[in-house]
Chains A and B, each alone.
Chain A
Amino acid sequence: MNARKSVRLTVKRQSAPAAEPYWESFDIPWKPRANIISCLQDIQCRPVTAEGKDVNPIAWDCNCLEEVCGSCTMVINGKVRQACTALIDQLELPIYLEPMTKFPTQRDLQVDRSRIFENLKKVKAWVPIDGSHDQGEGPVISDQTRAQRYVLSECMSCGCCLEACPQFSLDNKFMGAATFSQVRLFNLHPTGAMHTEERLEAVMGEGGITDCGNAQVCVEVCPKNIPLTESIADIGRQTTLQTIKNIFQK
């Protein structure tokens, strides 16, 4: 970790959703333990390009700064990851920053990830507890199931698995690993399991579980190490059994 005089960030910028993207480079002084977010903050203090041109400050999303909220997800040196845990000293220079390519760009590094939320709504990724009457205590869960669900519940909808997925694109309907993993999470919950069939029906269509190509990049890039491919295979099993049920029982 040699002290460097300056760090160059080359950022893909875009002024509005429909505008043409362009690249701009910024030189900022090297600081110890700097990450991408702190560098973007430095640029925000003095938004001047490497060529000395005054420009608008860069727009980006961030919140928790500890890889828990997922909002600062972007493409850094070609690969998708969170900007807050991307330490400058561990990156190859110059650093290239781009917004995620599989979601519509809003401005600079900000993207619209509402598609993830829409998909979670489609699969009813929640445990329904609302009602006009007291529903009593929830059922007991075995510790094994609890542990299994905990890992799945760590998903922060950052979009890494979707950005890196070869089957997920801007213009198709594919739901992607994050959604399937949430179906598994809520089907594993004793109360949530009451809506198993509805969740499965929601992923048994165009853009659903059958559109997965098993490239397994999702599990490689997941910052929370969620066993996404296990979830995909498990939803594969659940939908298979549901199909058998649909054919022979209904």
Chain B
Amino acid sequence: MAFSENKNLVLTENFRQNGFMNWLTRDQIHYLILKTHSLTGLVPVGAFLVLHLFINSLRTVGVWQYQLSIDLINNLPFLIWIEIGFIYLPLLFHSVVGFYIYKTGTRNVAIYRYPRNGLYTLQRISGAFVFVFLLYHLGTTVVPKLFNGKEHFEAAPYLIGIMNTEFESWFVRLFYLMGIAAASFHFSNGLWGFCMSWGIIVGRTAQRNASVLFILFGFVLMFMGFATVAEFSLNPIDVRPTIPGSM
């Protein structure tokens, strides 16, 4: 029986079945992908969301503070590789696995009406919504920026110009508010899910305390995003080039 089996024997058997090159079994790959999905939601994707909302909320301090911080980012070395490695690829991975997870479940909150089951459903819906929102968000900012080759000191004024025009429309304002709300919810609720699936919180009291903490955190994130949208919409200021004559 399996009891008396030597671990080395099991390993040898494993290699015999899968070969040396194929050193991870299908099950191990499945496990690692899902555990990584949970982790990428926190770092780098979630961490980026916090940074992004925080830096953008500099707009509420002043247009120059805001513009200079974006100038700083756009003058970072290896920027496109940082973006690909720490934002686009993890985001794509998290989205693809997310839609796979969406497919594996059958939502039943209509029958079993418990708060956590509602959040389970909302987590999936918000994730799908954020994905659609990001297609729009990237399509109207990063894609034209890269397409028109705007970089270094040209990038920030170009992007801010786009955002100024965007926030003139009520539809876009509303869409951004919904996107920010969905992303804040998805991240703060996902943080709780990460703490559960990685076993950081275990007991029921710990679970409850963590949810309270993450709800507060989610509202802080949402507030930062909403404040930025409000500042753009209620206090429009025409963009000026960082280096005169460079626009």
Interface residues of A (CB under 8 A from B): 78-79, 124, 128, 164, 166-167, 169, 172, 174, 195, 198, 204-206, 208-217, 220-221, 227, 229-230, 232-241, 243
> Assuming the A-B contacts A230-B202, A237-B200, A240-B199, are A166 and B28 also in contact, with contact meaning beta carbons closer than 8 angstroms in the complex?
no
4 smallest A-B Cβ distances: which pairs? A237-B199, A205-B27, A210-B34, A215-B120
**Complex: how many Å from CA A9 to CA B48?**
56
Per-position contact with A for B182-199: 1 when CB-CB < 8 Å, else 0? 000000000011001111
Contact present for A204 and B117 (CB under 8 Å) = no
What residue of chain A has the Cβ atom nearest to residue B195's Cβ? A233
**Does B201 lie within 8 Å of A79, measured CB to CB?**
no
Beta-carbon contact of A213 and B30 below 8 Å: no
Q: Which residues of chain A are near B101, meaning CB under 8 Å? A: 213
Interface string of B137-148 (1 = CB under 8 A from A): 000000000000
Digit string of B101-113 for contact with A (CB within 8 Å is 1, else 0)? 1001111100110
Chain A residue, CB-CB nearest to B197: A236
Contacts between chains A and B (CB distance < 8 A), count: 111
Evaluate whether A239 and B199 lie within 8 angstroms (CB atoms) in the complex, with A213-B120, A215-B116, A216-B116 already known.
Answer: yes
**Cα A227 to Cα B207 with chains together (Å):** 12
Given contacts A169-B106, A206-B27, A216-B116, contact A233 B34 (CB under 8 A): no
Listed by A's residue number, 5 A-B pairs whose Cβ atoms lie within 8 Å are: A79-B112, A128-B3, A166-B106, A205-B30, A217-B108
- Is B26 interfacial (CB 8 A cutoff)? yes
Contact between chains at A211 and B104 (CB < 8 Å):
yes
Determine whether the beta carbon of B105 is less than 8 Å from that of A204.
no
Query: Is there contact, CB below 8 Å, between A216 and B199?
Result: no
For B, the interface residue count at a CB cutoff of 8 angstroms equals 38
Interface residues of B in 1-60 (CB under 8 A from A): 2-3, 25-28, 30-32, 34-35, 38
Contact B198 A240 (CB under 8 A): yes
User: How many whole Å from A19's CB to the nearest CB in chain B?
Assistant: 23
Q: Please tell me if the beta carbons of B31 and A210 are within 8 angstroms of each other in the complex.
A: yes
Chain B neighbourhood of A78, CB < 8 A = 111
Once the chains bind, are A166 and B34 in contact (CB under 8 Å)? no
**Measured CA separation A229–B202 after assembly (Å):** 8
Complex CA gap A78/B114 in Å reads 15
Are B35 and A164 touching (Cβ within 8 A)? no
Q: Does B203 contact A (CB under 8 A)?
A: yes
* Interface bits B99-134 vs A (CB < 8 Å: 1, else 0): 001001111100110101101110000000000000
Which residues of the other chain, A, contact B204 by a CB distance below 8 angstroms?
227, 229-230
Asked whether B207 lies within 8 Å of A166 as measured between CB atoms, the reply is: no
A208-B27 contact in complex given A217-B112, A236-B199, A240-B199, C-beta closer than 8 Å: yes
CB < 8 Å neighbour of B198 from A166, A205, A211, A237: A237
Across the interface, name the chain A residue whose C-beta is closest to B31. A204
Q: Of all chain B residues, which has the CB nearest A237?
A: B199
* Among B25, B197, B204: residue with most chain A CB under 10 A: B197
Indicate if the CB atoms of B107 and A237 lie closer than 8 Å.
no
Identify B31's interface contact among A128, A205, A216, A241, CB under 8 A.
A205
Contacts of A232 in B (CB 8 A): 196
**Residue from A166, A206, A212, A238 in contact with B26 in the complex, judged by beta carbons closer than 8 Å:** A206
Name the one of A166, A206, A221, A234 contacting B105, with C-beta atoms under 8 angstroms.
A166
Known contacts A166-B108, A172-B104; is-contact A205 B28 (Cβ 8 Å): yes
> Which residues from chain A contact B114 at a C-beta distance below 8 Å?
216-217, 220
Given contacts A210-B31, A210-B197, list 19 more A-B pairs with CB under 8 A. A166-B106, A166-B108, A174-B104, A195-B3, A205-B25, A205-B26, A205-B31, A206-B27, A208-B30, A210-B35, A215-B105, A217-B108, A220-B116, A221-B112, A227-B204, A230-B202, A233-B196, A236-B197, A236-B198
Distance A107 CA – B129 CA, assembled complex (angstroms): 42
- Residue of B with least CB distance to A194: B3
Q: Measured between C-beta atoms, what is the minimum distance from A4 to chain B in Å?
A: 26
Give the docked Cα–Cα distance between A217 and B116 (Å): 7
Residues of B within 8 A of A230 (CB): 202-204, 207
Partner of A166 from the list B35, B117, B196 (CB cut-off 8 Å) is: B117
Residues from chain A with a CB closer than 8 A to the CB of B107 are 166
**B106→A234 contact, CB < 8 A:** no
List which B196-245 residues lie within 8 A (CB) of chain A. 196-204, 207
Chain B residues within an 8 Å CB radius of A214:
116, 120, 192-193, 196-197
